[in-house]
Structure 1
Amino acid sequence: MTRLTRALMCGAAIAALSASSALAAEWKFALEEAIHEVQGVYATKFKEHVEANSDHTIAIFPFGTLGESADITELTQLGAVQFANASPGFMGSEIPELNIFLMPYVLPENPAVLADFYKTSPTINETLAGKYPDQGLELVDMYPEGEVVMTTKEPVTSPADLDGVKFRVMTSPLLVETYNAFGATATPLPWGEVFGALQLGMIQGQENPMFFVESTKMYEVTDHITYAGHNTFTTAVIANKAFMDGLSDEDRAVVQAAADAAYDYIIDYQQGLTESAEAKILEAKPEMTVTVLTDEQRAPFRAAADRVRQKYVEMVGDSGKAVLEGFEADIAASKERAGES
């Protein structure tokens, strides 16, 4: 989508949405996913809490209703939408430090440690949150959506198996660096083009959480699923900064409480979600193979991740190095609270 097309689209959306501007108590929440997927479940719980504890209402706009990720972020910056999901893979171009969420083998794999980390990390909730106002935004929440898996046309047990594979990534330089380091040919594509590109053989692989692979039927156009343990998909909930600044103390407290309630709910909701999604895929396509790489098989991928870490520091500079060190300290604290050595 060109900048002109996006601008026209945003203008049309603003005109349409502003028609109800007299109803100031209706807040709009745009998603990068469908209403039945993780972001939709979070937004629904957020909506329920806001509507139960205030006179305001929330209108949820699922993926595609107002465009793709870049479009809904822009609409939020413009104030046509009050809340939106804006995953680091897309926001990283505006806030380079956010690319840390795309680095392989940085986030903890233990779900309890991961949940505590997102909720308590000063690096996320203070340092990174402090980067959003320059974009006309405020960070409301950040949460995990599940372990990322690779889905490919051919089986993958080592970087050599990715040699020559055109692997779709979000439009992020760090994801490009990651899959190039893993041995593939990283191919940035908007999400709306991925299924067709796999179907036509223009690309041969992609990554996403298992629930998303199942719900979007990515398994129909790939044949192998690989757990490499390299990352967890992260999303952020953002709000228009001017909107948040204009809220009363009472309304801001409602928003924060709604985010807290939705966070706790979505963490519990995700328990067993990967396993159930995998079972649905195998029921629909029994010939699909699922491979969980051993520690030995993961070793060369981990080694390749060192190159990505260096790239991140080069891209972001001293602030990136500080964020990386902050992550390491915050994760260590979360492990200690979870009783993990």
Structure 2
Amino acid sequence: MKTISSLLSGAAAVALLAAGAASAAEWKFALEEQLNEVQGVFATRFKEHVEANSDHTVAIFPYGSLGESADVTELTQLGAVQFANASPGFMGSEIPELNVFLLPYTLPEEGPVLADFFATSPTIYQDLAARYEDQGLSLVVMYPEGEVVMTTKEPVASPADLDGVKFRVMTSPLLVETYRAFGATPTPLPWGEVFSSLQLNMIQGQENPMFFVESTKMYEVTDHITYAGHNVYTTAVVANSAFLDGLSEEDRAVVDAATQAAFEHIMEYQEGLTQRAEDMILKAKPDMNVTVLTDEQRAPFRAAAEDVRATYVEMVGEAGSKILDGFAQDVAASRERVGD
């Protein structure tokens, strides 16, 4: 079984630009978030480990400094950037199987099981990793960033409450299908337009992990936060494949160890992160309404999710069924190891 520490074998593709970057003293790491957010915390620990154990430096580029997510992915494919976050929500158009991470009620909800799953899943580190290599990228690691919550103008306790609500989603057919199944009017928008669109009531809802709701001040333009337990935001760290193939055994070992250290750190960092972010939101906006849906209230959302799973299989085909089966097996194995 491949795990995080053994994954970084990379593809054999060679690009002149990437090969040149392999020997450079500075490695570039581009994010989809800011330095004080989860991806920035991971990248900072990765940087600290690399710089303490090699003669390389790591330059971190927060969201926006090198363009949007698509721009960063392209720069990584070209080898101008060595490492980057390329989350499944953005890469799903290139790698359809990755849309599995957008399916509601698919990932384990228990923290220890979730951590073990992301550390060990052969479906991630074999099947899905191979699909990244088709894009000239190597999957370094995947990790969760916290439970996704809905933030809306009006309270949400059932799919009926989303009727007529224009709900922002990433430009993903699966997310569009998810919120259509949940009863909303899904509205794909670039992230940079979300705050103003909520402010102007052009949309009435969006979803993100709680820490991101707090750091981006989404609570200022919405009045209700709902925990429906439907998903956990997942991100992926990728590297230019030719860059990894050009590393010496010593440098490859440094990358592996830095990845492992950063993964362990980010999982510890996230313990209590959602609650801390919620507390900060309520301090800043005491009249913000926070609702945790009961199992009974979640039941119709779970039922709607079955239609989305069918859409995923229809979109991806036999490979999609294989990924879903693999996830089920991997989650069961994690539960057995963890003891839940």
TM-score by length of 1: 0.93
Question: Within 2, Cα distance between the matches of 1:22 and 1:271?
Answer: 35
Residue equivalent to 1:276: 276
Residue equivalent to 1:83: 83
Question: Within 2, Cα distance between the matches of 1:189 and 1:68?
Answer: 13
Question: Within 2, Cα distance between the matches of 1:257 and 1:24?
Answer: 19
Q: Over residues 190-242 of structure 1, what are the superposed CA-to-partner deviations in whole Å (9 max), with x where a residue is unaligned?
A: 11111111111111000000000000000000000000000000000000111
Contact 2:21 2:79 in 1 (8 A): no
Question: Within 2, Cα distance between the matches of 1:131 and 1:23?
Answer: 26
Question: Within 2, Cα distance between the matches of 1:273 and 1:38?
Answer: 10
After TM superposition, the structure 1 stretch with the greater mean CA deviation from structure 2, 268-277 or 249-258, is 249-258
| Code of the aligned partner of 1:210 | M
| Code of the aligned partner of 2:219 | Y
Note the aligned Cα RMSD (angstroms).
1.4
Q: Over residues 150-181 of structure 1, what are the superposed CA-to-partner deviations in whole Å (9 max), with x where a residue is unaligned?
A: 00000000000000001001111000000000
Query: Which one scores higher on RCO, CA 8 angstroms, separation ≥ 6?
Result: 2
Question: Within 2, Cα distance between the matches of 1:94 and 1:244?
Answer: 21
Shift of 1:249: 1.3
Q: Over residues 1-34 of structure 1, what are the superposed CA-to-partner deviations in whole Å (9 max), with x where a residue is unaligned?
A: xxxxxxxxxxxxxxxx99x979811000000000
Residue equivalent to 1:133: 133
Question: Within 2, Cα distance between the matches of 1:80 and 1:93?
Answer: 22
Question: Within 1, Cα distance between the matches of 2:73 and 2:189?
Answer: 18
Residue equivalent to 2:323: 323
Q: Over residues 283-305 of structure 1, what are the superposed CA-to-partner deviations in whole Å (9 max), with x where a residue is unaligned?
A: 10011000000000000000000
Question: Within 2, Cα distance between the matches of 1:105 and 1:98?
Answer: 15
Contact 2:151 2:224 in 1 (8 A): yes
Q: 1:276 to 1:21 in 2, by over 3 A?
A: same
Residue equivalent to 1:99: 99
Residue equivalent to 1:285: 285
Which segments of 5 or more consecutive residues in structure 2 lack a partner in the other structure? Answer: 1-16
Question: Within 1, Cα distance between the matches of 2:70 and 2:225?
Answer: 28
Map 1:230-245; keep pairs closer than 5 Å: 230-245=230-245
Give SS of 1:194's match: helix
| Code of the aligned partner of 2:127 | T
After TM superposition, the structure 1 stretch with the greater mean CA deviation from structure 2, 154-163 or 187-196, is 187-196
| Code of the aligned partner of 1:275 | Q
Residue equivalent to 1:194: 194
Map 1:1-341; keep pairs closer than 5 Å: 24-340=24-340
| Code of the aligned partner of 1:179 | Y
Question: Within 1, Cα distance between the matches of 2:80 and 2:293?
Answer: 45
| Code of the aligned partner of 1:155 | P
After TM superposition, the structure 1 stretch with the greater mean CA deviation from structure 2, 64-73 or 223-232, is 64-73
| Code of the aligned partner of 1:318 | E
Residue equivalent to 2:4: none
Give SS of 1:168's match: strand
Shift of 1:71: 1.0
Contact 2:21 2:82 in 1 (8 A): no
Give SS of 1:180's match: helix
Give SS of 1:67's match: coil
Which segments of 5 or more consecutive residues in structure 1 lack a partner in the other structure? Answer: 1-16
Shift of 1:252: 1.0
After TM superposition, the structure 1 stretch with the greater mean CA deviation from structure 2, 150-159 or 23-32, is 23-32
TM-score by length of 2: 0.93
Contact 2:170 2:189 in 1 (8 A): yes
Contact 2:104 2:305 in 1 (8 A): yes
Residue equivalent to 2:13: none
Question: Within 1, Cα distance between the matches of 2:142 and 2:310?
Answer: 25
Question: Within 1, Cα distance between the matches of 2:135 and 2:23?
Answer: 26
Shift of 1:317: 0.4
Shift of 1:133: 1.0
Identity fraction in percent: 77
Question: Within 1, Cα distance between the matches of 2:42 and 2:140?
Answer: 13
Give SS of 1:298's match: helix
Question: Within 2, Cα distance between the matches of 1:89 and 1:253?
Answer: 29
